[in-house]
Amino acid sequence: MRIYNLAGLLEQYGDQFLILEFNHLFVASSIREEVWLLQRKNDSALIDRIIQEAAAYNLLEVDADRDFETYSGGQKAILGCLLTLELIRARGIKGLKLLLSNILNSISDDNRVKLMRFFAKIHSSHHIRLFTQKGSELQELFSDNDSTEK
């Protein structure tokens, strides 16, 4: 029985999905650095939107240059999602399949509701398909057919 199988996750889904995994959310060490890497510029408008959005989740101490390691696990999960969703919006990315691994169960009930509303908004405007793990299967969220993929 595996408790944590990152290699298996990547092998199974890495070629089809953008995966947000709880223990590997960021490449860089702060929001500013992460945005630099992803946008190849200091996109201060994007950074500001992430910080403003984070405040709605009671992440009141978020700062563009604060080290990710100083946030709690749930705060990092929220920031990883906000960064991804704002980037999708900024770049006008459409049709992406996004897999959340150990993300939603790291987030408190009220914040999960807010985050799912944000995902729903991006789902309709950018045709993003959102999946999460349910046992060994994937469950699609916001799907009309509530489909699962193995």
Q: How far is the CB of 49 from other proteins (least distance, A)?
A: 19
Q: How far is the CB of 42 from other proteins (least distance, A)?
A: 25
| Measured distance CA(38)–CA(43) in Å, rounded | 10
Residue placing its CB nearer to other proteins in the complex, 93 or 141? 141
Quickly tell me which residue has 């994007």 as its tokens.
46
Residue 100's nearest CA partner among 141, 144, 51 is: 141
Residue placing its CB nearer to other proteins in the complex, 61 or 127? 61
Residue placing its CB nearer to other proteins in the complex, 14 or 73? 73
Residue placing its CB nearer to other proteins in the complex, 43 or 119? 119
The single-letter DSSP state of residue 135 is T
Q: How far is the CB of 97 from other proteins (least distance, A)?
A: 22
Q: How far is the CB of 84 from other proteins (least distance, A)?
A: 17
Residue placing its CB nearer to other proteins in the complex, 22 or 43? 22
Q: How far is the CB of 73 from other proteins (least distance, A)?
A: 5
Strand order in 97-101's β-sheet? 18-21, 97-101, 129-134, 137-141, 148-149
**Which residues, 6 or more positions from 95, have their beta carbon under 8 angstroms from its beta carbon?**
126, 127, 128, 129
Instruction: Give me the residues that bind other proteins (CB under 8 A), please.
Output: 1-4, 6, 22-23, 57-61, 71-75, 77-78, 102, 105-112
Write out the H or E segment, with its range, that includes residue 90: helix 73-91
